C-alpha cells in the first residue's frame, strides 16, 4: 500500500475541508484506505497545537477536534524516529517531516509549503503538493477498478 506523510497544515485543513476540495479528497482517500498515513509524535503534537489556534477553535467544537486528533493517532501509522535529517529543508520543522517519512518508509510527503516542495525529493521520498498527490490517488483509484 502507498505510504505518505501529510504535513501538519494539510492534516489540520483536513478537519474543516469540504469533501469536494483537494484536501477533502486526500482525507477521504485515507479514510478509504487508498493510502496509509504515516505520522510521528512530532506531527501529532504539532497538529494538536495547530488545532488550538483561533481559526479552528472558532469553527470546530473542541470535542470534534479531540476526536479528529484521536482518529489520526489511531488510524495513522505512528512511526518511531529512526533516522535524522538535518539541513535539507529551509526549516527544522520541515526536516522533521522528512525524518518521519524516511523513518516510516513513506514514498511521499504531501505539503503546501513552497520551501519544502522546492527540495523536490530526498533519498527515496518525493515531496509533492496536494494537487499532485490527488492525481496519484485518482490514478490508483482507476487502476483498482
Distance CA 95, CA 140 (A): 28
pLDDT cut 70: percent of the chain above it = 99
**Torsions phi, psi of 97, nearest 5?**
-65, -45
Q: How far is it, in rounded angstroms, from Cα 85 to Cα 72?
A: 24
Q: How far apart are CA 105 and CA 68, in angstroms?
A: 24
Domain ranges of the chain: 3-144
Q: How far apart are CA 90 and CA 39, in angstroms?
A: 21
Q: Reduce the DSSP state of residue 109 to 3 states and report it.
A: strand
Q: 3-state SS of the chain: helix, strand, coil percent to 5?
A: 55, 15, 30
Q: What is the pLDDT of residues 87-125, one digit of tens each?
A: 787 777 888 999 999 999 999 999 999 988 988 999 999
- The model's confidence at residue 64, banded by pLDDT at 50, 70 and 90, is very high
Question: Which residues, other chains included, contact 138 with Cβ-Cβ below 8 Å and sequence gap of 6+?
Answer: none
Superfamily of domain 3-144: 5'-nuclease (3.40.50.1010)
Give the model confidence (pLDDT) of 8-23 as tens digits. 999 999 999 999 999 9
What is the average pLDDT value for the chain, to the nearest integer? 94
Residue 108: all three cell numbers together: 511521499
Does residue 128 have a pLDDT over 90?
yes
Residue 145: pLDDT band with limits 50, 70, 90 = low
Q: What pTM value is reported for the model?
A: 0.93
In degrees to the nearest 10, what's the CA dihedral of 135, 137, 143, 144? -160
Asked if pLDDT for residue 56 goes beyond 80, the answer is yes
Amino acid at each position: 500500500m502507498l505510504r505518505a506523510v501529510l504535513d501538519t497544515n494539510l492534516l489540520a485543513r483536513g478537519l474543516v475541508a469540504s469533501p469536494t476540495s483537494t484536501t477533502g479528497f486526500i482525507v477521504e482517500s485515507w479514510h478509504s484506505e487508498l493510502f496509509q498515513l504515516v505520522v510521528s509524535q512530532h506531527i501529532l503534537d504539532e497538529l494538536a497545537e495547530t488545532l488550538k489556534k483561533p481559526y479552528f477553535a472558532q469553527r470546530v467544537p473542541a470535542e470534534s477536534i479531540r476526536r479528529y486528533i484521536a482518529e489520526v493517532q489511531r488510524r495513522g501509522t505512528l512511526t518511531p524516529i529512526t533516522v535524522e535529517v538535518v539541513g535539507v529543508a529551509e526549516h527544522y520543522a520541515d526536516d522533521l517531516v522528512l525524518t518521519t517519512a524516511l523513518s516510516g518508509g513513506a514514498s511521499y510527503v504531501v505539503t503546501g509549503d513552497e520551501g519544502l516542495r522546492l527540495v523536490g525529493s530526498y533519498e527515496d521520498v518525493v515531496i509533492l503538493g496536494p494537487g499532485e498527490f490527488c492525481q496519484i490517488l485518482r490514478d490508483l483509484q482507476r487502476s483498482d477498478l
